[in-house]
Structure 1
Amino acid sequence: MSRLIINKLIYKIQTQGGEAYGAEVPFKTGLNIIYGPNSVGKTSIVTGIIYGLGAEKGLGIFKTIQNPFKPEFYKSIEGKPVKTSYLLLEISNGNEVVTIFRYIRGTDLSIAAVKRCSADQFNETQASEKLIIAGEGVFSEKGFQHFLFGFIGLKEVELPTYEQKLSKLYFENILPLFFVEQRAGWSQIQARQVIRYNIKDVRKVAFEYLFGLDRFQLHLSEIRMKDLETRLRKLREELSQKEDNLLIIANAEKNDDMLLVDTSRIGKAGIYDYINYLKERYQAETVAINSLSSDSQAFEASNTKLRDTLKTVDFQLRKVTEKIEKISAEISGYERYLDRIQINKYKNKQLKKIREFSTELNIKTCPVCEAQLTASEDNECVLCHADLSKKISTPDQNLEFLEDEENTFKKVIAQRLLDRRKLFEQRSGFKERITELESQLEHQTTTYAGRELAQLRERILSADAFHKDMEKFTRIAARWEDLKPLRQDVKIAQKAHDELKEEINGYAQTENDTTIIDSVRQFVQSNVGSLGLFKGNKELIGQIRVDATDYYTPYLDNFDIYNISSSSDNIRIILSYYLALLQTSIEQKNKPGIIHPHLLILDEPKQQNLDNASLVDAITLIKTIPTDESQVILTTYSEVPGDREKFAADIIYEMTSDTDYLLKHQPKAPQA
């Protein structure tokens, strides 16, 4: 059985001046009334519970930069800027207690810390787990919703969206079935349902999920059908692509998974009939060739010799061409080296002139390094302060070496150019030989004497054409046969898809679903009567229906149930419905599919025109629900004298006046 019990909520606020404010609200099972006039902080307690559960989207907050709290929680309180603020929310699943830490103003609003202890022991408990509570990753291994679903006993499920994709069902999707928010929540049932995930019929799906309806399996079946559709599409695309390729190659069309080829020889025929025709014609041509081949043996021997010679000469031509390319690359390298020698010779000649000028002009310092040009200093270069101990050569020595290098490489280049010219001559000879052999072969082939050879050539060409086509269409037929397993996969997937679609379209409400929905309807009818609705026309109460027609919400066939009377009646219908959901979850608790957390949070129904008498009736009705199996949190207030005493025993937190605010000054700063 799924349970979510709120045990305690603690607020801690620290100003920049070091002053502390806060509040501590304890809860119990059964009815919990938070009592006080307007604008003192009742709703802030509900906001803290929802925010601590990471479900602020259920408050209409969709960005972390938005803050669901009033400014005194995160901006300034009593004119003092807030430095940090956070809450501690202690919850239980009936067996285990954990406390959730979350910043309201602090370093990271998207992370929550969870400790397996009570809120009072939070600071003393070392072990904690940091979880992603907002943004991407809330259902990851370190996601808060992944933790919360497991803690409460909820199943993680994916559901189809309107974009033909899948989406997780989030906590904020089921929250509107046990939380009525003050501003929009009393306008209609599931008013704060989060639809931005685009889950199909999310209001209906959330109800079916929370109450374990067999109909919910239809949505899972839709997911399976979507997977099958995706698989079927891929299989069909693969099959179509492969078949189309073969149809184009074979110039054929498909007929009942068989290839019908369109031929120039016999017209349209099945591929196997055409292959048999080609085999017969090839055999006939082979017999004719054998009878004519005896006269052509000498011719064939000569032709073979010429072809072999042609192959040899062609090979020699390729080798000579490779050598020419290699020598050309070598010569280019030598020429580039000679260019560098010329550059170096020019530089050394310039250096030599500068040195001569230094003597003629009586220059005493080097123009490069400004060192004294003293000839007696053996270890210094006269011109550029070079260290003679490193044996750096003089410009004259460099020029002598470069001249020698230049002469050497010029000789090498001349020799390689000569080698290349010889190879050019060889290549020309090979080309001429190839031309000669090709001419000879062509002449011998075309001028062979006798009508027999001409017939032989025609037979050979014909047989060759038949053989090529026979091999081609045999390969195509084999590849077409290889597609049989893929066609079978398509048929199996299609059959499974059709069966699943038939199952979905033919769904009939099960006995389990009927029992649960009837329970909700009966409780709604009973609660409507207890809250004094339709007093003048009690027959309407018995006509109230609840089914999948309108997201499992109450309706009348001939009337708009929400506009049949006053706005106060509308609130009473919504209140009757939410109490009916809680009552049904308890009555049907032994059904394994029901995962309603047995929690109901009602924020200020009286501010939405619920009269005092109906408020008292609602509290009286709530008190009939088993205390140990449920928890109802109700924020309210009544100006009528004597009303408070009627439910004083269930007030767990009270703000006694319009100046008795929730957040109160504390003597010490909070420890974060």
Structure 2
Amino acid sequence: MFKINKLRVEILTDKSENINDLYGFEFSFNQGFNIIAGPNSRGKTTINSCIYYALGMEELLGAHNEKALDKALKEEFSIHTHEEVNYKVQFSKVLLEIENDQKKISCLERYIKVNNDGSKTTNIGVYHSTLENLYVEKNTNTAHEIYFLNSRGNNDDPNGFYSWLGDFAGLVIPSVSNSSRSSKYSPLYLQIVFSALFIEQTKGWSEFFATMPFFGVTKAKEKIIEFLLDLNEISLSTQKDILNRDKDLILEQWTRKVKSFSYLEKQSNSTIINIPQALTIDKTQIEKISVVFSRSEEEEEKISLPDIITEKEILVRELENKPLTTIKENREEAILEYNTQKNKYSELKNYVDKFENKLNIEFKQLDNLNTQLNIINSEIKDHLNLKKVFSENIINERGANHCPTCSQEVSTNLISTKNIRIPQLTLDENTNFLRSQKKLIESSLLSLKSTINEKEVLLSYFQNSIREKEILIKSISKDLISDDRAFSESDIVRKLQLEREIENLTNLRISVADLKSDLENLATKYHNNTIKINNLGESEKEDEKILEDFEKSYKDLLFNFGYESNEKFKISINRKEPFKYFPVYKRFKDDTLPQSIRINSSASDFVRNIWAYTLSLLIRGNNHPGLVLFDEPGQHRTNLNSLKELFKSCSHITDRQTIIFTSIDKQFNDEGEKLDLEILINGLNKSNYNLIQLDNVQKVIRKL
């Protein structure tokens, strides 16, 4: 665990007389409950965002690096004295003093606006010193390191900041299953964990862990809870995720193998029966798969593959032993055979033409998918280049914002957010979305290519069949126009074709046997996979005890905060999917269809849910980093009594740190109640909270 001791921002301006003439702010925080209160537009958001930024968590605010910060910290700000004076920012940085439960203190230093000395906003400096002694100790070579952010490996590389922060806070970050990693595993990224700790004002009150970034972690919200509460299930569930992914792959392969039988059917004009569509581990079900042929289209009588091979072998032997006949002797038989083969040829030719047209359409689909894939790859490349542009601070140079492509000036905020609320995705969120689209297209391409390859093989077979019929028809036709005394060639051609048919049927028998063997291997893999999953077992009894304590804490807090949407016995922490580890509404105790607490609560009551849930994780979480930050918890017409209870509950949490940013003296519900700070803190033990009250007139940035 760790706590925040001090926050300091230093700004060098165009009006600074020397490099020691700095502007900014500095605040101290205590263990336990901290309140930052003030009227709107006085700097609460600026202070709040600086904490996020100093800890490398600005991604939870929807942006990377200094883009998440207010322009007052990186461009210009004003100070009102007798008149308004504007100051242009030349250089700025934030410093945050933190302390872990081993009493070890470190000071984090991160630049906001840099000069040309090589400093980067993508790095965080860590000094092993208090903030007070930092500058004195710098002169005596205070030990410090530089750690990187916003790059691959920042959670598990020893030089990554989140790796250092996890170690400092005493957190053993587990490996979890990750669909975006080729290794199938990744760390449980700290940015994901902190979405359960830091509740920001814009999106944070709309859903549990609403600001959680996407990194491909499987069931990320469940993993957060398992980690914070130190459940045994986190190691089991990670293994289950991998095994379930393997299970899905086995089922997918089974479906493909079953589909292969249908292509063999078309290729051989046969029927393959007793194919188990669903995966089975019963070997006898697989052994029952067999091939049959119809005697004719009119007859329902079926003949098995071994029998039809035997019949054709007998016909070959008969033709071998048959004496040569003249055309005259075979004329009537030849005319009948000619008409029969002509009709079969026409039917087959029409079918193949339609088949080939459909195949050409699939080739066009393949071209379209490849074009889409190229576009997606190009967009991903553009996003990565843009990310580099922002991370290297290319746009923000010499106090002006210019597009690096066309050199036109651009505003820091393209859309004013005063009266408009438009969801904005970060570059990383866009890139992750594009990568997910790429995976979908690649999956479609793989499936389509497989289908096309199979159909090309089938088309080749059809074309060969057409050629064979053309040879036979040509041979019979030649007999019909030849001298009656000449020997017939059709028997010889027929014998050769029968031999080819026997060869094809033999290959069919081998192919079916191979597919049956493949199904048996998949069934064995599935069986072994199921055993491994079952051996993992369910959550142990210790997990259930932890969840019971967590649920009790959550429900007690929830109803203390004035929750009214449902009765207490209808609310619980769900143990299984859906909504695993999250509050649900149940009509009765054994209700098998739990419903989301969000859709079964009023807007203000759902905010109370987030208060209670977040604080319960703080209180009960053995792996909790030890602090919670609420930005403007008085959302969606909550009432003053509820807020007062929230402040009271936070003041009772003395062994961990809570920080609340709240506006004051503004109406915040339909009853006309105002956020009265005196009412909120009335009755609290003064030793149990630290109040930072901002000026009613001046903004937070001033001369240091």
> TM-score of the superposition, structure 1-length normalised?
0.55
State the Cα distance separating 1:82 from its structure 2 match: 0.7
1:421 alignment counterpart = none
Structure 1 residue aligned with 2:572: 546
Q: What is the CA distance between 1:50 and its match in structure 2?
A: 1.7
Aligned equivalents of 2:605 and 2:508: distance in 1?
A: 76
State the identity %: 21
Contact 1:132 1:144 in 2 (8 A): yes
1:431-457 per-residue CA deviation (whole Å, 9 max, x = no partner) reads: xxxxxxxxxxxxxxx9xxxx99959x8
2:625 equivalent to 1:597: yes
Deviation at 1:477, TM superposition (A): 2.2
SS at match of 1:597: coil
Give me the whole-angstrom Cα distance separating, in 2, the residues matched to 1:478 and 1:574. Answer: 63
Does the aligned pair in 1 maintain the 2:65–2:122 contact within 8 Å? Answer: no
1:435-450 matched pairs, under 5 angstroms = none
- CA, structure 1 residues 250+174, in 2 after alignment: closer, same or farther (shift >3 Å)? same
Q: 1:220 to 1:114 in 2, by over 3 A?
A: farther
Summarize the alignment of residues 2-401 of structure 1 with structure 2, pairs less than 5 Å apart. 3-18=1-16, 19-34=21-36, 39-59=41-61, 61-62=62-63, 66-69=67-70, 71-72=72-73, 74-78=75-79, 79-91=86-98, 94=101, 99-106=107-114, 111-115=122-126, 117-118=128-129, 120=131, 121=134, 124=141, 128-133=145-150, 141=157, 148=165, 152-158=171-177, 171-182=190-201, 185=204, 190=208, 192-194=210-212, 206-208=224-226, 210-212=228-230, 221=240, 224-234=243-253, 236-237=255-256, 240-241=259-260, 243-256=261-274, 257-261=289-293, 268-282=302-316
Contact 1:98–1:115 (8 Å) recurs in 2:
yes
CA deviation after TM superposition for structure 1 residue 662, in Å: 3.8
Residue 70 to residue 472, structure 1, CA distance change in 2 (3 Å) = closer
Pick from 603, 607, 619: which aligns with 1:583?
A: 619
The 1:196–1:36 alpha-carbon spacing in structure 2 relative to 1, beyond 3 Å, is same
Matches of 1:522 and 1:470, distance apart in 2: 75
- 1:13 corresponds to which letter in structure 2? I
* CA–CA separation in structure 1 for the residues paired with 2:210 and 2:507: 64
Residue in 2 that maps onto 1:379 = none
AA at the equivalent of 2:94: L
- Cα distance between partner residues in 2 of 1:479 and 1:555: 54
Q: Which amino acid aligns with 1:117?
A: H
1:453 and 1:470, CA in 2 relative to 1: closer, same or farther beyond 3 A? farther
The DSSP-based 3-state class of the residue aligned with 1:658 is: coil
Q: Please give the alpha-carbon distance, in whole angstroms, between the structure 2 residues aligned to 1:272 and 1:569.
A: 72
**Structure 1 position 486 matched with structure 2 position 484:** no
Change (3 A) 1:65 1:526: closer
CA RMSD of aligned residues (A): 5.5
Name the CA distance, whole Å, in 1 between partners of 2:156 and 2:273.
51
8 Å contact kept, 1:32–1:651: yes
C-alpha contact 1:180 1:602 (8 A) present in aligned 2 = yes
Over 3 Å counting, the alpha-carbon distance change for 1:555 and 1:601 in structure 2 is farther
Identify which of 640, 647, 658 aligns with 1:632. 658
Deviation at 1:71, TM superposition (A): 2.3
Paired position in structure 2 for 1:475: 507
Hey, what's the Cα distance between the residues in 1 that align with 2:270 and 2:185? 41
CA distance 1:609–1:509, change in 2 (3 Å): same
Give the number of aligned pairs.
480
CA distance in 2, matches of 1:480, 1:564: 55
Q: Contact 1:261–1:271 at 8 Å: present in 2 too?
A: yes
> What aligned pairs does 1:523-538 form with structure 2 within 5 A after superposition?
523-527=553-557, 533=562
Summarize the Cα distance change of 1:51–1:227 in structure 2 as closer, same or farther, 3 Å threshold: farther
Q: Which is further off, 263-272 or 544-553?
A: 263-272
Counterpart code for 1:83:
Q
Contact 1:74 1:85 in 2 (8 A): no
Task: Go from structure 1 to structure 2 and tell me whether the alpha carbon gap of 1:617 and 1:235 turns closer, same or farther (over 3 Å shift).
Answer: closer
Whether the 8 Å contact between 1:525 and 1:544 is mirrored in structure 2 is no
How far does the alpha carbon of each residue in 1:544-583 deviate from its partner, in whole angstroms, 9 at most, with x for none?
Answer: 733238773486969x999999999887665444333322
| Stretches of structure 1 lacking an aligned partner (at least 5 in a row) | 291-445, 590-594, 667-672
Distance 1:207 1:102, change over 3 A: same
Which whole-Å deviations, capped at 9, do the CAs of 1:58-90 have from their partners, x for residues lacking one? Answer: 33x246684343625543343111122222334
CA gap of 1:580–1:555, structure 2 versus 1, over 3 A, is farther
Higher relative contact order at CA 8 Å, sep ≥6: structure 1 or structure 2?
1
Flag the 1:465–1:546 CA change in 2: closer, same or farther, 3 A. closer
1:283-308 Cα shifts (integer Å, max 9, x gaps): 56666799xxxxxxxxxxxxxxxxxx
Aligned partner of residue 56 in structure 2, secondary structure: coil
* Cα distance change, pair 254–616 in 1 and its aligned pair in 2 (3 A): closer
- Cα offsets for 1:305-344 (capped at 9, x unmatched): xxxxxxxxxxxxxxxxxxxxxxxxxxxxxxxxxxxxxxxx
Shift of 1:522: 2.4
Structure 2 Cα separation of the partners of residues 250 and 656 of structure 1:
84
* TM-aligned CA distance change 1:463 to 1:198, over 3 Å: closer
Structure 2 CA distance, aligned partners of 1:467 and 1:656?
96
Kindly state the Cα deviation for residue 179 of structure 1 after the two structures are TM-superposed. 2.8
Q: Structure 2: which 5+ runs fail to align?
A: 80-85, 275-288, 325-478, 589-595, 665-675
Q: Hey, what's the Cα distance between the residues in 1 that align with 2:652 and 2:609?
A: 18
Partner of 1:664: 702
**Which residue identity does 1:105 align to in structure 2?**
K
Change (3 A) 1:207 1:633: same
CA contact (8 A) 1:215 1:513 kept: yes
Equivalent AA in structure 1 for residue 311 of structure 2: Y
Letter in 2 for 1:22: G
Q: Is the 8 A contact 2:173 2:188 kept in 1?
A: no
How many angstroms does 1:502 deviate by?
A: 11
Q: How far apart are the structure 1 equivalents of 2:607 and 2:163?
A: 34
Q: CA offsets, 1:74-126, max 9 Å, x none?
A: 43343111122222334455456655443333479761234363464596457
> Counterpart of 2:548 in structure 1: which amino acid?
D
Kept in 1, the 8 Å contact 2:644–2:679? The answer is no
Gap change, CA 1:156 and 1:81, over 3 Å in 2: farther
Q: Which has the larger radius of gyration?
A: 1
Letter in 1 for 2:515: L
Distance between the aligned counterparts of 2:686 and 2:610, measured in 1? 25
Cα distance 1:97–1:238, how it changes in 2: closer, same or farther (>3 A)?
farther
Query: 1:330 corresponds to which residue?
Result: none
Residues 250 and 525 of structure 2 are in contact (CA less than 8 Å); yes or no, is this contact kept in structure 1?
Answer: yes
Q: Using the alignment, how far apart are the partners of 2:98 and 2:58 within structure 1?
A: 17
The 5-angstrom pairing of residues 494-573 of structure 1 reads 511-527=541-557, 533=562, 543=569, 545-548=571-574, 552-553=582-583
Q: Distance in 2 between the 1:149 and 1:647 partners?
A: 33
Cα 1:37–1:212, aligned 2, differ >3 Å: closer, same or farther? Answer: same
Structure 2: which amino acid aligns with 1:128?
E
Are the equivalent residues in 2 in contact too, given 1:239–1:486 (CA < 8 A)? no
Residues 581-625 of structure 1: CA deviation (Å, up to 9, x unaligned): 32222xxx3xxxxx3323222345479888887767655544443
TM-score normalized with structure 2 length: 0.53
Quick one: distance in 1 between partners of 2:499 and 2:522? 35
